[in-house]
Structure 1
Amino acid sequence: MKIGDRIRFYRIQQNKTQEDLANGLISVSYLSKIENNLSLPSLEVVDMLCEKLGIRFIDEEEPSLLEELKDWYKLMVLQEKEEVEFRYEELKEKTNQSRDSTSLVYFMLFEYRYFLLKRELYEAEKLHKKISEISDILTDELNYFNYKFIGLYNYLSNSYQSAYENYKKAESILLRSVFDKWEEADLCYSLGLTSSQLWKVTLCIKYTTQALAIYQAHYNYKRSAECQILLGISYRRSDEIDKAEESYLLADKIANTLKDFNLKGHIHHNLGYLYSMQSKSEDAIKHYEQSFLFNEQAERSSRLLNILCLVFEYYKICDFEKGLSWVRKGQEWLKSEEDFNEYSLHFRTYEYLMTETNEEFEHFLKERVIPFFEKQNNSKYVSDYSEELARYYERNHKYKLASNYYRLANSTLKKINNI
């Protein structure tokens, strides 16, 4: 790393402004030229700047520390969360004491990935502002990690198009560089996931198949199962029902071998949705109930989704008694309306539909439910609930209003089909 780059890097690391560092030594404009490698300072000036920053003029490379950092990052990719957490403080202390600026840059980037692993998005965003200030000194490998981690941040923030674009930038570096196969697989899997969120079915199948081949070759069974689930979703979206079912069942075999109940919960949920699409409600209900049981240790949002799907299936087959029992269960799982507002709206709507649809129901859908999902750009639920409101108006001979909401349901349904 050039001396100007090193000075800027350590200044930013220490949260110092150019004014802070230059004060009493040199002018701010001269420091700016040094940091941008536009002026070669005298040894005296370099010594003064290095002394104020508490660093040495000569960069001291520590290959062993860099290897430790890369091993730590690999543990993040493998989702070894306990070991990652255990090593964090130790590596943080080592890098703080290190004179190796290259290792420090790697630590900054891997710490960014660490915050994303822990879903600490605010901390990740703060750290990335620092990384952005030194982006021009990043090597190809460091830029690869930078783009990949920005992509993950975008993905976790539900900005899927931005995530895809940043993952593609990382891919362009990967294709002209040498990385381990597990790294290539992880990027392909990330591209597959993001393509799925964007409903880019062909791209999802392409990237997920590439990732699956590597995971299978390296006996990474859990990731192989997750790839099969992702492929199943894509095949289902492209109406290749048999292929979708085959992928889910292959994933289930792996989950049985691993005794991974969370994975089985995810698989049964997707099988339930697959059968629901085919109007096989009994099969769908069986798998949704299995998913609910296996998801015992899963996040509450996963269990609430299971419950909602069961409510919907029982509503479809007009078994309102069982449907309402699941509505009550869902409402019990909600700690507060604000906590999972979306689910409170779903459960209240189906409670009306399976008991009594009246003016209160009309107002609820018209003023709260449909506007909520319009704001979320959730075309599916806007379409579903607009159609329910249209039917209500039709039953009450309010044909003009019924026509308006049938039109809204159809127009939003087209958005789904044209994604």
Structure 2
Amino acid sequence: MNKGIGRKIKYFRIKSDMTQEELAKDIVSVSYLSKIERNAADANPQVVKQICERLGIKPERTQDNHIQKEVHQWFNQLLNGELIRAYESYQMIEAEIESIIDAGLYWLVELHTLYYFVLTDREELAERKYIFLQQDIDKFNEIEHYYWLKFSGLYFADRYEYYDAFQSLMRAEKMYPKEHFQDELEIHDLYFQIAKVSTNLYYTYHARVYINRALTFYKNTYRLRRCGESHLIVGITAKRMNEINEAIEHFRLAKKLSETIKDDHLLIDYHRAMGDVYRDMQLNDEAIEYYKRTYELTKHHYSERELQAIMGLCRSYAQKGDNDSAAYWCEVAQQLIQTGESFSQLLSYEVNSYYYILHGFDQGFESLMVNDVLPFLKEKQLHYTYAHYLKLTANYYYNERKYKVSADYYAAANELLDVVRVVDNY
């Protein structure tokens, strides 16, 4: 009898939208069916045969010599970001699920399906898959548990839960099953993902260490797109360390690679990164030129990158003292958010906060901070950004002459910045 028959029966029962009571009726007790599904009973072959007949599946293992190759090909397509080919492979895999279960690949496929949903921005499906997988963690073997940690981390990162993502990815590194992989692509992808998440958390030391490992590998293996993305991260870490010349050098290398491989997203991110450099240096005219180039490349895309470009213009004009232009771009940003497209909550809060920065603070700002922005950032454990908005709120209370409240917010902000430094140096 098929050793994994319980998993197979449970999968096709759920797929057929049947309860255990409906499947067990006139065949076996519900409690016995439950044991069969959990592979906790030495199932009677005749009972299993009847159950499988009701489900329209075979009780014995089906032999398919190609399924291993096709499934691992899909895994590689996801790892390499080949989403068009991955979509085609996914259609095949859905149709071959019985063979996949029989080949012992069920959990690996389910875990990679979570990754696939994250990569393709299918948020609701990703959430349902995550909840489903979370219930069966105790059934995972070593490599399945590694992928659970890695893909959970990427799932968290996609939800802007960067702290949880960081913790999950770091645990994945600790239990990386090196003997299961024939090359170093997987471990360096993990290093790259850790660096990305660390950058979002302002863990500059971690970002620097892990992206340098990844970049060396990508250079040696001529993975040009990843090289470009890695140069951008190195540049961001250099900027935060006030190594401006180094930052600009890496950003320009990213631009050169974007032109070589004709990658518009990489080129857009280069222009925005250069805008950030010049804005931090208070060279606002230069920053505005780069943000305008970013905007021209993203205009009418209704994308996160378009909104980031608009906010770059808004911040630069405000810093320059041109409040009329800043207010114009802030209004453009608000109109873009109101289109109904999906933008990150964090960026939406930034747009709403900037409205008050430009037009004056009132109780609406206090309500936005206290009821929405600060609780959101606290929940997501985005400590650096949380500290920024705590200081902004402290400034508001100071101007309202609520000095004690203001001092408490300043103190909380400084404590959070200490947390960032401690974690990054751990």
Q: Is the pair's TM-score, using the shorter chain for normalization, greater than 0.5?
A: yes
Counterpart of 1:244? Answer: 247
Is the Cα contact below 8 Å between 1:295 and 1:302 reproduced in 2?
yes
1:381 aligns with 2:389: yes
Shift of 1:225: 0.8
* Range that drifts further, 153-162 or 167-176: 167-176
Counterpart of 1:150? Answer: 152
Work out the CA distance in 1 between the residues paired with 2:241 and 2:275: 17
**Residue type of the alignment partner of 1:47:** K
Counterpart of 1:310? Answer: 313
**Residue type of the alignment partner of 1:342:** Y
Counterpart of 2:213? Answer: 210
Counterpart of 1:364? Answer: 364
Counterpart of 1:65? Answer: 67
Counterpart of 1:396? Answer: none
**Residue type of the alignment partner of 1:278:** M
Is the Cα contact below 8 Å between 2:63 and 2:99 reproduced in 1?
no
**Residue type of the alignment partner of 2:389:** Y
Where structure 2 has 5 or more consecutive residues not aligned to the other structure, the ranges are 378-385, 421-426
State the structure with bigger RCO (CA 8 A, min sep 6), 1 or 2: 2
Shift of 1:224: 0.9
**Residue type of the alignment partner of 1:208:** I
**Residue type of the alignment partner of 2:376:** Q
Q: Do the aligned partners of residues 339 and 247 (structure 1) sit closer, same or farther apart at CA in structure 2, a change above 3 Å counting?
A: closer
* Range that drifts further, 362-371 or 113-122: 362-371
* Range that drifts further, 126-135 or 139-148: 126-135
**Residue type of the alignment partner of 2:160:** N
1:121-175: per-residue Cα shift (whole Å, max 9, x none)? 2222333444445544444333333332222212212222322333234334434
1:311-351: per-residue Cα shift (whole Å, max 9, x none)? 22222222234333433433443426997752552342244
Work out the CA distance in 1 between the residues paired with 2:164 and 2:358: 38
Counterpart of 2:416? Answer: 415
SS at match of 2:180: coil
**Residue type of the alignment partner of 1:345:** N
Taking only the aligned residue pairs, the percentage that are identical comes to: 22
Where structure 1 has 5 or more consecutive residues not aligned to the other structure, the ranges are 394-399
Work out the CA distance in 2 between the residues paired with 1:119 and 1:338: 13
Q: 2:82 aligns with which of 74, 80, 83?
A: 80
TM-score (norm 1): 0.82
Q: How does 1:85-100 map to 2 (within 5 A)?
A: 85-95=87-97, 100=102
Shift of 1:72: 1.9
Shift of 1:227: 1.0
Q: How does 1:36-75 map to 2 (within 5 A)?
A: 36=38, 39-75=41-77
Q: Do the aligned partners of residues 178 and 388 (structure 1) sit closer, same or farther apart at CA in structure 2, a change above 3 Å counting?
A: same
Work out the CA distance in 2 between the residues paired with 1:338 and 1:299: 7
Work out the CA distance in 2 between the residues paired with 1:93 and 1:118: 20
* Range that drifts further, 177-186 or 406-415: 406-415
Shift of 1:221: 0.9
Work out the CA distance in 2 between the residues paired with 1:329 and 1:22: 60
Shift of 1:226: 0.7
1:11 aligns with 2:13: no
TM-score (norm 2): 0.81
Q: Do the aligned partners of residues 320 and 337 (structure 1) sit closer, same or farther apart at CA in structure 2, a change above 3 Å counting?
A: farther
Is the Cα contact below 8 Å between 2:235 and 2:247 reproduced in 1?
yes
**Residue type of the alignment partner of 2:126:** A
Is the Cα contact below 8 Å between 2:156 and 2:165 reproduced in 1?
yes
Shift of 1:184: 2.2
Counterpart of 2:129? Answer: 127
Q: 1:258 aligns with which of 261, 267, 272?
A: 261
Q: Do the aligned partners of residues 56 and 365 (structure 1) sit closer, same or farther apart at CA in structure 2, a change above 3 Å counting?
A: closer
Counterpart of 2:380? Answer: none
Is the Cα contact below 8 Å between 2:228 and 2:255 reproduced in 1?
yes
Work out the CA distance in 1 between the residues paired with 2:149 and 2:12: 20
Is the Cα contact below 8 Å between 1:11 and 1:17 reproduced in 2?
no
**Residue type of the alignment partner of 1:170:** A
Larger Rg: 1
Q: Do the aligned partners of residues 17 and 408 (structure 1) sit closer, same or farther apart at CA in structure 2, a change above 3 Å counting?
A: same
Is the Cα contact below 8 Å between 2:9 and 2:37 reproduced in 1?
no
1:183-202: per-residue Cα shift (whole Å, max 9, x none)? 22222211221222333222
Counterpart of 2:332? Answer: 329
* Range that drifts further, 263-272 or 319-328: 319-328
Q: Do the aligned partners of residues 168 and 226 (structure 1) sit closer, same or farther apart at CA in structure 2, a change above 3 Å counting?
A: same
Is the Cα contact below 8 Å between 2:8 and 2:98 reproduced in 1?
no
Q: Do the aligned partners of residues 366 and 130 (structure 1) sit closer, same or farther apart at CA in structure 2, a change above 3 Å counting?
A: closer
Work out the CA distance in 1 between the residues paired with 2:387 and 2:141: 43
Shift of 1:275: 2.5
